[in-house]
């Protein structure tokens, strides 16, 4: 019997029943087949070698696909288990998922333990086993049989897992000499795993409960090529050097204080300069794009957040209330309701739309203290916020303009890799998880998708992850060393207008409810500056560097000329200081390099006599001798244009 | 017997015992005597006619002195009582003090009541009585006699007052046919009162308790010349037109919302432009003066405010706490502790001083809802805050620089009348009301006084009103129509450094505690913008006006040229709009005048053909036809220089 296989491009091919995704790949090309790690079959991830017995939609998954990566790491975890079992016969395994980057497995080693040396031995063993290209074999098994099997093995962990599984849905996977209770899927065979690194060992209580036995957790990562592993390890090494908490302290960007509170950032003068440059950029950009600015308080009454739906659903992520005059006041977790109130303060007509209001609004959110992390997870957020109130007709253009703004910023900051993650609703959940407006969902999702496609913006679609009130876009960006950050969301909202009773008079003198776009291209100062610290390794481009120029007189004799330079640069609004210490020029240069100041001007006899400066560029050394005015002119242009390539490639 | 009278200039004169201050004045000059309303005798305000029986320090008080004004109004209140008694025999009086501007008296009219017409009659009667120049006669009386007197009159109100008075301290005052229980002092005679206005009648519960009888309260004001009353009434009339709440709404400056909360201002786009211009001015000025900027959270933990002394002493003026993770968090009532923590975040040496950090910090203070008033009394304050950490040697220069900054701002805003009120400590209260550092008090008070004198700044000294931690200056300014505003305080602080354990390493490698200057020359956005609305009557100078230019095409034919003008002005960063309505030019001009836009550009055939604009200045009409580029150049210069005279004299 033949079945029909529909591929992502819509083409339909016919195959014998029982064909595997791998067979389909081979029928297309051998090269493709060599890259296939798993398959998406009717929306589920399957082993590429599993037989297809009826008509299906099929997507072949390769290393580029997130689901394939997870499968790859999950299979590597089984490979690790095989190696561990060979080293410690009788070892018992609990669970071991693929994680964001790599995998882990929790195991009960009995009397044994693992040290760094053991990890190296395991890696070696895993390489040997991988080279055998043993296939991962899937075997459905009845619950009774499975219980019998693991009872015989005396494996209380798998028995515990089994107790929660339903008969008919249970499978075993085997490769080489190792068999595990596992839902799968897996890659075709171990030969795909070309490079493995076991990162660390840690203790982990069984089921996360400290009253239970402590198991041994081994973290690892693997790649289909040694080169990729090498790059990944180099990136980790670089990320450690670029840690925003380390750089934030070294460069006096921010501090925290126990008396103020966890997750509450005190921005020191250097950090504040960066904040002000970011806000200047945002204001210029938003001003040119027709936004108006507003300023709103940081608190609001209970009723505001009952209307928004925050209090009933997200009270846990808000600060607790302040009881005053018989009312509860809350620190605002977002700026939307305050902006809606400004929209509502005066009657609006269609002529006032699109009405765009922006504010670097400071919001407060409660994060568990264990979740707090440097600038990345904080409790006080300065948000590059704005709300656009528009008609349906205006929506596509407004949404496109917002996306253009993102792209403009990415260029300025040299962010070359980014993806927009478009979260859509699930029609089956209308009226529950999603506001019941099927027409508006279709319309806005289509409009958003069209804008993304026609703007040629890389994006992925995710089902069933929209906001309650409309589709949303999460923007993911990668730093210069390839680490991923979630920057901001960009949301369509066709519900808040109703909730807050917002309206405008249309051309027919009727009242319409505006659509609202929530957007924050620069995210929060906290997260964005944390990102920039890593992205630039603290070597900020001149326009945003806290100190832009340091003047290094070779000796005290040149202090007068150094002061002339200082005043000239200050007049051009350049942030400049003199290193007036009684130190050798070599030490002055080294210290200024360490402080990551973009430009150094070394001045001695010749420079003084000719009104010149000997320019050094941070990380690049000597950049030649220039006339003072020429240097000022060039730097002013660099700052004005917000040039940044130098800093990233540094 | 002779007594010695020491005058404020230090000169000592001898007089017969029993001489009065008025006699002393006469001995100096008849002209002076005609102006003396009361006297300050050894620090107490006395009747100018009261005999002096021993050596005294004497200051003659005239209309220019606050104490003389209070005496004058208190005496007018007795004059009013005399007039009321003549109209309603049997009326009984409760209390009636002089107030900020004028006086009131609470009275029990029995079955009678007062309407507007009655007030006019009373004014007339008062004028008649005033012209009699009846002297105010002081008569000490024993408590028994007084009780007997008011018992006979059946005056339960004065008997109630008497029950709380001590024998030996009781006096009666009489003028014409009226006698009252009164502590005094009073002016020499009713002839000084040349102009009276009874402002209003209101009900007032006896002792402010609504369970008591309601008395009739009459408010009034009086002056030593009719011209002064006329000016005062004209000022009130103008102030009503310039009411910041009225203008704030008309010009879309700010709004409030019940769901956000009372006293919490939502700054609309027009108000935000003013805020941003003020902040730009502050940043430019502070940057040039060597300040660095910081950004701090709006909350802090309990301990921060226990250390500052806020929680033990001023908890009532703070918002209530938020309980989180077992700690209490508070909205910050001021920025100082946060700034201290930034000073403390990194070790400081004498080379880092003066360390000046500035922030437009947003603070939250609890004001009773009855105290809230427009932008003048609010619960959320955006403060032009900064703290200067310096050594004792640096103090005078830093303090002078702060004062210079105030004066600079006054010039920009055309504030011609201002006084600095220097509040000093009372040595008798060291260790209680004031931190026990007699040397530092003397030193800093002397330094502050010297700076004020040498800078030629008008100031008054007030005893026993300093802050706990040092002398302070309250800055009082007068708007264009002569209304007084308290703008900001400027404080010396030699205590917080110790409390927060702040220190810096001095030249000898020891540790010193810095002196701290708290300063906020532009006060808060709320109060300052409230002041500016009145000061400019909403007709802001171009540099700070929300909309700077409106282009008024005479007809649609000139829309293209209007757009050319728009783009030209926008490129020069001028805030500009086109009135593209299909309206007659006369209406466009009227509406733009009403909206108080500084410049209107009327464009028609001639202007289009010659690339010109017909300029109209708000409130001044036609300002001639100019080349477009000439106009832009002039306006850019006006904005850059922040010129403001035009607006004030408008």
Model confidence pLDDT, tens digit, residues A619-636: 899 999 999 999 999 999
Residue A648 scores a pLDDT above 70: no
Contact B300 A260 (CB under 8 A): yes
User: Residue A325: which pLDDT band, with cuts at 50, 70 and 90?
Assistant: confident
Query: 327-356 in B: which are within 8 Å (CB) of A?
Result: 327, 329, 331, 337-338, 341-342, 344-346
What per-residue confidence (pLDDT) applies to B477? 94
Query: Per-residue pLDDT tens for A149-192?
Result: 999 999 999 999 999 999 988 999 999 999 999 999 999 999 99
User: Residue A647: which pLDDT band, with cuts at 50, 70 and 90?
Assistant: low
Residue in the block written with tokens 């003020």: B278
What per-residue confidence (pLDDT) applies to A455? 87
Q: Which of B190, B198, B200, B195 is nearest to B230 (CA)?
A: B195
Residue A266 · residue A248 · CB < 8 Å: no
Query: 519-558 in A: which are within 8 Å (CB) of B?
Result: none
Residue B55 · residue B42 · CB < 8 Å: no
Contact B322 A325 (CB under 8 A): no
A346 to chain B: which residues are within 8 Å by CB?
252, 255, 268
Name which of A255, A299, A327 is nearest B342 (Cβ-Cβ).
Answer: A255
Q: Is B572 on the interface with A (CB under 8 A)?
A: no
Distances from the Cα of A69 to the Cα of A101, A417, A419, B165, B452, angstroms: 9, 19, 17, 91, 73
Q: Residues 6 or more apart from B643 whose CB is under 8 A from it?
A: B541, B542, B543
Distance from CA of A342 to the nearest CA of B (A): 7
What per-residue confidence (pLDDT) applies to B310? 81
Task: Tokens for A61, please give them.
Answer: 């998954």
Cβ-in-10-Å burial (0-12, 13-18, 19+) of B274 comes to buried
How many CB pairs below 8 A link A and B?
166
Query: Per-residue pLDDT tens for A572-596?
Result: 999 999 999 999 999 999 999 999 9
What per-residue confidence (pLDDT) applies to B647? 62
Contact A301 B261 (CB under 8 A): yes
Contact B324 A366 (CB under 8 A): yes
Name which of B261, B307, B369 is nearest A299 (Cβ-Cβ).
Answer: B261
Residue A561 scores a pLDDT above 90: yes
Residue A488 scores a pLDDT above 70: yes
Helices (H) and strands (E) in chain B, counts: 21, 35
Task: Tokens for A147, please give them.
Answer: 């219980």
Query: 376-435 in B: which are within 8 Å (CB) of A?
Result: 380, 382
Task: Tokens for B239, please give them.
Answer: 């102030």
Length of chain B: 650
B612-621 contacts at long range (C-beta below 8 A, 24 or more positions apart): B613/B565, B616/B589, B617/B646, B618/B539, B618/B592, B618/B593, B618/B650, B619/B539, B619/B593, B619/B650, B620/B646, B620/B650
What per-residue confidence (pLDDT) applies to A19? 95
Length of chain A: 650
What per-residue confidence (pLDDT) applies to A227? 96
Q: Which of A326, B531, A308 is nearest to A318 (CA)?
A: A308
Q: What whole-number distance in Å separates Cα of residue B434 and Cα of residue B494? A: 11
- State the distance between the two ends of chain B, measured CA to CA, in whole angstroms: 62
What per-residue confidence (pLDDT) applies to B480? 86
Give me the average pLDDT of each 10-residue run along chain B (650 residues).
Answer: 92 94 94 94 94 94 94 97 94 92 94 92 96 96 94 93 91 95 95 96 91 94 96 91 94 96 97 98 96 98 90 87 94 96 97 97 93 94 97 93 94 94 92 87 92 91 88 92 86 92 95 96 96 95 97 96 97 96 95 96 95 94 94 96 73
Contact A273 B293 (CB under 8 A): yes
What per-residue confidence (pLDDT) applies to A169? 87
Contact A297 B272 (CB under 8 A): no
What per-residue confidence (pLDDT) applies to B331? 97
Distance from CA of A418 to the nearest CA of B (A): 30
A329 to chain B: which residues are within 8 Å by CB?
261, 319
In terms of CA atoms, which chain A residue is nearest residue B271? Answer: A294
Task: Tokens for A559, please give them.
Answer: 């202090």
Interface test with A, best of B248, B250, B254, B259 (most A CBs within 10 A): B259
- The tally of CA atoms less than 13 A away on the side-chain side of residue A149 is 14
Distance from CA of B532 to the nearest CA of A (A): 18
DSSP state of A77: H
Contact A300 B260 (CB under 8 A): yes
The three-class DSSP label of residue B4 is strand
Sign of CA dihedral A237, A241, A243, A244: negative
What per-residue confidence (pLDDT) applies to A57? 94
User: All domains of chain A, ordered by start, with CATH?
Assistant: 2-62 (3.10.20.30), 67-239 (3.30.980.10), 288-528 (3.30.930.10), 549-649 (3.40.50.800)
The enclosing H or E element of A249 equals helix A244-250
Query: 248-287 in B: which are within 8 Å (CB) of A?
Result: 252, 255, 257-261, 264-269, 271-273, 275-276
Distance from CA of B555 to the nearest CA of A (A): 20
The enclosing H or E element of A543 equals none
User: Residue A559: which pLDDT band, with cuts at 50, 70 and 90?
Assistant: very high
Distances from the Cα of B503 to the Cα of A536, B341, B352, B353, B390, angstroms: 34, 12, 11, 11, 10
What mean pLDDT value characterizes chain A? 94
Residue in the block written with tokens 């004169």: B13
Q: Is B299 on the interface with A (CB under 8 A)?
A: yes
What per-residue confidence (pLDDT) applies to A646? 63
What per-residue confidence (pLDDT) applies to A233? 94
What per-residue confidence (pLDDT) applies to A649? 54
Q: What whole-number distance in Å separates Cα of residue B252 and Cα of residue B120? A: 39
Contact B380 A264 (CB under 8 A): no
């Amino acid at each position: 019997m033949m079945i029909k296989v529909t591929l992502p491009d819509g083409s339909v091919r016919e195959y014998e029943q029982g064909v595997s995704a791998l067979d389909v790949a081979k029928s297309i090309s051998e090269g493709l087949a060599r890259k296939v790690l798993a398959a998406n079959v009717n929306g589920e991830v399957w082993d590429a070698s599993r037989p297809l017995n009826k008509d299906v939609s099929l997507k072949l998954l390769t290393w580029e696909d997130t689901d394939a990566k997870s499968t790859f790491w999950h299979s590597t975890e089984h490979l690790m288990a095989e190696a561990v079992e060979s080293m410690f016969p009788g070892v018992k395994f609990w669970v071991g998922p693929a994680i964001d980057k790599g995998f882990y497995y929790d195991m009960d080693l009995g009397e044994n333990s693992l040290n760094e040396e053991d990890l190296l031995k395991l890696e070696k063993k895993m390489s040997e086993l991988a080279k055998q290209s043993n296939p991962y074999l899937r075997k459905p098994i009845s619950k009774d049989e499975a219980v019998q099997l693991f009872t015989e093995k005396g494996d209380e962990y798998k028995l515990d897992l089994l107790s929660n599984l339903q008969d008919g849905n249970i499978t075993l996977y085997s490769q080489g000499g190792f068999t595990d209770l596992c839902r799968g899927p897996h890659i075709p065979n171990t030969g795909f795993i070309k490079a493995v690194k076991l990162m660390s060992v840690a203790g982990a209580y069984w089921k996360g409960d400290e009253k239970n036995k402590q198991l041994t957790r081994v973290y690892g990562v693997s790649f289909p090529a040694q080169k990729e592993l090498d790059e990944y390890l180099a990136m980790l090494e670089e990320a450690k050097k670029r840690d925003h908490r380390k750089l934030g302290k070294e460069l006096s960007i921010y501090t925290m204080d126990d008396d103020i509170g966890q997750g509450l950032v005190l921005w020191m003068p250097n950090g504040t300069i960066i904040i002000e440059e970011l806000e200047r950029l945002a204001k210029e950009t938003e001003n040119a794009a027709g936004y108006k600015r507003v300023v709103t308080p940081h608190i609001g009454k209970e009723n505001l957040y009952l209307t928004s739906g925050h209090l009933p659903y997200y009270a846990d992520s808000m600060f607790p209330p302040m009881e005053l005059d018989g009312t509860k006041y809350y620190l605002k977790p977002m700026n939307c309701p305050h902006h809606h109130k400004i929209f509502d303060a005066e009657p609006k007509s269609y002529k006032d739309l699109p009405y765009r209001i922006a504010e670097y609004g400071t919001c407060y959110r409660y994060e568990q203290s264990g979740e707090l992390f440097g600038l990345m997870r904080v409790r006080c957020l300065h948000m590059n916020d704005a709300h656009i109130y528009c008609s349906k007709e205006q929506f596509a253009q407004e949404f496109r303009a917002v996306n253009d703004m993102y792209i403009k910023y990415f260029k300025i900051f040299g962010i070359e890799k980014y993806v927009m993650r478009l979260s859509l609703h699930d029609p089956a959940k209308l009226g529950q998880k999603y506001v019941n407006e099927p027409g508006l969902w279709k319309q806005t999702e289509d409009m958003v998708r069209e804008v993304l496609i026609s703007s040629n913006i890389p994006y992925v679609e995710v089902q069933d992850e929209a906001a309650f009130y409309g589709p949303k876009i999460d923007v993911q960006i990668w730093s210069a060393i390839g680490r991923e950050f979630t920057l901001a969301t960009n949301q369509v909202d066709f519900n808040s207008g109703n909730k807050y009773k917002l309206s405008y008079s249309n051309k027919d003198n009727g009242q319409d409810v505006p659509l609202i776009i929530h957007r924050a291209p620069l995210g929060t100062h906290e997260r964005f500056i944390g990102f920039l610290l890593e992205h630039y390794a603290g070597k900020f481009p001149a326009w945003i560097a806290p100190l832009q120029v340091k003047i290094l007189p070779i000796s005290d004799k040149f202090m007068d000329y150094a002061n002339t330079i200082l005043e000239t640069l200050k007049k051009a609004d350049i942030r400049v200081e003199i290193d007036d210490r009684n130190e050798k020029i070599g030490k002055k240069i080294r210290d200024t390099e360490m402080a990551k100041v973009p430009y150094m001007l070394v001045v001695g006899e010749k420079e003084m006599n000719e009104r010149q400066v000997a320019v050094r560029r941070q990380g690049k050394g000597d950049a030649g001798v220039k006339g003072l005015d020429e240097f000022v002119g060039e730097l002013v242009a660099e700052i004005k244009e917000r040039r940044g390539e130098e800093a990233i490639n540094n």
